[in-house]
A and B are shown apart, each in its own frame.
Chain A
Amino acid sequence: MITFEGVGHRYEERVVLEEVDLALPERRIGFVGANGSGKSTLARMVNGLVLPSEGQVLVDGLDPAEKGPAVRRRVGFVFTNPDSQIVMPTAGEDVAFSLRRSGLSRSERARRAAEVLAAHGLEGYADHPAHQLSGGQKQLLALCGMLALDPDVLVCDEPTTLLDLRNTRRFAEIVAGLRQQVLLVTHDLDLLADFDRVVVLDEGRVVADDEPEPAIRHYRKLCDT
């Protein structure tokens, strides 16, 4: 389980998060909030990409500040811009890159990479140049790069921002079918309809934490004021 205990964060003088206390046992949890509300910072804390200035984050009892590698083996992260995540020239090589420390042989890694790609809508793309994929395919590739590691938790930071409606739906369908616990930061409120829980952030604080419908209603009201 993921917990935030009195978590705060500041970049120099600017307060980004303040007194966040959360226990997150649900399988599908959404985070919404205006730009600069602190949701991306909060998401990054789950796998130690950002460490809190105050308080503590725990993932299955492990503090990312002290056990970063162990936490990152449990938590995968999908960023907004897939171009920044893809580090190898072809789709297959990029997914295999995630497995480079797995102890598998190169051919076995390539086989596993092709399997992961095929299972998530990119069958036959292993030899395809990654930078020639469409935006939606690139985001799926970024997702495959993480799923190849079979993490227990998947954190997605606005993964559909750069996608069209069709690719957004496709991405959402794939995420819905995953066995992993998913923490989704998004501005696309439709994606959260079937989620178990939605947390609303405003100016670094949790201002609503409920089932999707009431939480989103609260967020809409917040945006109207």
Chain B
Amino acid sequence: MTPLGLYSPGDSPLHRAPAGPKLLVLLALVTAVVLVGSPVWLGGACALVAAGYSVARIPAHRILPLVRTLLLLAVLVGALQVWLLGWRPALVTVLRLSASLAAAGLFTLTTRIDAVVATVERVLGPLRRIGVRPDRLGLLVGLTVQAVTTLSGIAGSVREAARARGAERSPTAFAVPFVVRTLRHADELGEALAARGIGDEADDPADHELPDTASGRGRRDRRVP
């Protein structure tokens, strides 16, 4: 499970709220958290987000990875900031990070990815006239969120393999297989998307009847995509 979590099924008001307004509230909250410098207000923002988790009735086992990550960050970032700048700026930074990450986690836990994708497509729809492909950008958002899970899974199994060979302290033993496996996954994912018709010219309904000029014979000697 990633620290930001993924969708946690439920029927709370937060689950039922549309993705677009929720995304706006998230952006507003994060902006406010960045602009505000008072530890009291930032503490209030953290309490507000915690109340959101309670309203959404997120199970404890889904919250735990986020809490662990936040604690780790708080200790590392907080210690560095106290050393460099003093306790007050450190407290402000830790509270900002905690409120922002916890709010983002709450958003992903209560919002289906396809709802986010649909919102992105709808919001960017008018840009189609200037050549922007909202469907592609929506898909990009969906795949990016999913990539967090995939990459943390690859990192976990690579670390396990390194440990099995007694090389848990070797950066090379982690980095090389991680990069290779990530690239291989990207290749396979591209192939799987192509197999599901994603990326075909006909993927865009507006082009549905157009001939497939993109996959002409010029590409005969290579794999697609």
Give A residues with C-beta under 8 Å from B: 10, 44, 47-53, 64-70, 72-73, 76-77, 79, 81, 83-85, 87-90, 93, 96-98, 100-101, 103, 106, 109-110, 127, 129, 131, 145-146, 149
Known A-B contacts A48-B224, A79-B191; A89 and B153 likewise in contact (beta carbons under 8 Å): no
> What's the Cα separation between A183 and B113 when bound, in Å?
33
Residue among A48, A127, A146 making CB contact with B196, cutoff 8 Å: A146
Q: Which residues of A contact B97 (CB under 8 A)?
A: none
Q: Using Cβ atoms and an 8 Å threshold, which residues of chain A touch B200?
A: 68-69, 72
- Complex interface bits, B1-29 against A, C-beta within 8 A gives 1, otherwise 0: 00000110100000000000000000000
Contact status B146-A103, CB under 8 Å: no
With CB as the reference atom, state the residue of chain A lying closest to B219: A51
A72 CA / B202 CA spacing, docked (Å): 10
Q: Is the CB of A65 within 8 A of B217?
A: yes
A70, A98, A103: which contacts B205 (Cβ < 8 A)?
A103
Interface residues of B (CB under 8 A from A): 6-7, 9, 112-115, 118, 135, 142-143, 145-146, 149-150, 153, 185, 188-189, 191-197, 200-203, 205, 211-212, 214-217, 219-224
How far apart sit A186 and B167, CA to CA, in the bound complex (Å)? 36
Quick one: given A48-B224, A89-B146, A106-B115, are A84 and B189 in contact (CB under 8 Å)?
yes
Residue among A89, A103, A109 with the most chain B CB within 10 A? A89
User: Is A90 within 8 A of B112, CB to CB?
Assistant: yes
Question: Are B197's CB and A69's CB within 8 A?
Answer: yes
Selected A-B contacts with CB under 8 Å, 27 pairs: A44-B223, A51-B217, A53-B220, A53-B221, A68-B200, A68-B212, A69-B202, A69-B212, A72-B194, A73-B202, A76-B195, A77-B195, A84-B188, A88-B114, A88-B146, A89-B113, A90-B7, A90-B112, A93-B7, A93-B112, A97-B142, A98-B196, A101-B202, A106-B114, A109-B114, A131-B149, A131-B153
Rounded to whole Å, the gap between the CB of B223 and the closest CB of chain A is 5
Q: Which residue of chain B has its CB nearest to the CB of A76?
A: B195
Which 6 residue pairs of A and B lie closest in terms of their CB atoms, listed nearest first? Answer: A84-B188, A69-B202, A69-B200, A127-B9, A77-B195, A68-B215
Q: Are B220 and A52 interface neighbours, CB within 8 A?
A: yes
A interface majority secondary structure: mixed
Residue of A nearest to B197 (CB): A72
Note all chain A residues with C-beta closer than 8 A to B221: 10, 51, 53
Query: Chain A residues near B189 (CB, 8 Å)?
Result: 84, 87
Interface centre among B217, B222, B224 (most CB of A within 10 A): B224
Chain B contacts for A103, CB-based, 8 A: 205
A141→B188 CA distance, assembly (Å): 17
* Cβ contact within 8 Å between B6 and A89: yes
Pick the contact of B195: A49, A53, A70, A100 (CB < 8 A). Answer: A49
Q: How far, in angstroms, from A100 to B201 measured CA to CA in the complex?
A: 14
Please give, as numbers and ranges, the residues of chain B lying within 8 Å of A47 by CB-CB distance. Answer: 195
Bound complex: CA of A53 vs CA of B219, how far in Å?
A: 9
A89 touching B192 by the CB < 8 A rule?
Answer: no
